[in-house]
Amino acid sequence: MANQFLSLALFLMLLSFFIVMNAVSGFDDSKAKPVISSLSLAFSNHTPEKSEDPVNEKTPRVAQGEGDTLEALEGLFNAHISGFQATRNRLGTVMHVRTDVGAFENAIDISGIGYDDVPVGGRGSFVLSMITILRSAEKGQAYRVDMILNLPDDPAVFQKDSPEAFLQSLKRVSGFATILERAGLPKKMLSAGVAQGDTGFIDLYFYRYKPFDMLLEINSEKRKKGAL
């Protein structure tokens, strides 16, 4: 009998503890949304590899060797797409381009066009020129691009409230990635996904591509120097 009373007492203590914990706990919406968004993107076909916005300020400074490629990309957008916005991070190594999604879709449209019959400045030349710039092996500075299509609401909420519209948006940005792949950009050098933002716009992030084996080599050197 004593053991039964002891077990009951322990059970009541644990119950009281969890009741008190539940009473004093709170819900942090700012922390919950990124988790929900991350889970949603994790189960989509294409997931952006960067969850944070790497571009947070404009700067006139450009890192050595980075300017030529990013300037060429900005000039390419300026020649083919009107009304886009381009900013760079503090070091000038990452460029963020925001443009109308319809204008970008028209610019990368190469349906029915062969590589040998693309006129200079004509339809199809934008995407082929962009891929040529990104894949430039000069000085080993190939670049990659992350594409994020903006949704009117958080991806998880939007998927729940409007599943068909969410799927259509996901297929649309995945289609952009497919076009770039077919035009010659390796899959490892691009990603595509969705996020809450200004509806009707797509965000593009251009930054240096670092192969996995290169990262291993860098980390190995850091370990030798005691940096890791």
Tokens 């996904």, located at residue: 193
Name the most confidently modeled range: 17-31, 84-98, 116-130: 84-98
Select the more confidently predicted residue: 104 or 57.
Answer: 104
User: What is the third-level CATH fold of 47-217?
Assistant: 60s Ribosomal Protein L30; Chain: A; (3.30.1330)
- Reported confidence tier of residue 29, pLDDT bands at 50, 70, 90: low
pLDDT digits (tens, 9 = 90+) for 36-84: 666 666 665 554 454 445 444 444 333 444 567 888 899 999 999 988 9
Select the more confidently predicted residue: 134 or 141.
Answer: 134
Query: Quick one: tokens of 199?
Result: 């509806």
What is the DSSP annotation of 59-101? -S---TTTHHHHHHHHHHHHHH-SS-EEEE-TTS--EEEEEEH
CB 120 within 8 A of CB 132: no
Buried b (16+ CB within 10 A) or exposed e, 67-103: eebbebbbebbeebbeebebebbeebbbbbbbbebeb
Sequence-separated contacts (24+) of 151-155 with Cβ below 8 Å: 151/194, 151/195, 151/196, 151/197, 151/199, 152/196, 152/199, 153/196, 154/33, 154/36, 154/37, 154/196, 155/36, 155/37, 155/40, 155/41, 155/194, 155/195, 155/196
pLDDT given at position 64: 45
CA atoms in the 13 A half-sphere facing the CB of 226: 0
Distance CA 170, CA 151 (A): 10
pLDDT given at position 59: 40
Name the most confidently modeled range: 4-13, 25-34, 60-69, 110-119: 4-13
pLDDT over threshold 60, residue 132: yes
Q: Mean pLDDT over residues 119-131, rounded?
A: 70
Q: Of 75-79, 140-144, 201-205, give the lowest mean pLDDT range.
A: 140-144
Q: Of 12-21, 157-166, 204-213, give the lowest mean pLDDT range.
A: 204-213
Length of the chain (residues): 228
pLDDT over threshold 90, residue 146: yes
- Reported confidence tier of residue 105, pLDDT bands at 50, 70, 90: very high
Select the more confidently predicted residue: 135 or 62.
Answer: 135
pLDDT digits (tens, 9 = 90+) for 4-22: 777 888 888 888 888 887 7
Distance CA 136, CA 208 (A): 11
Select the more confidently predicted residue: 26 or 20.
Answer: 20
Provide the whole-model pTM: 0.62
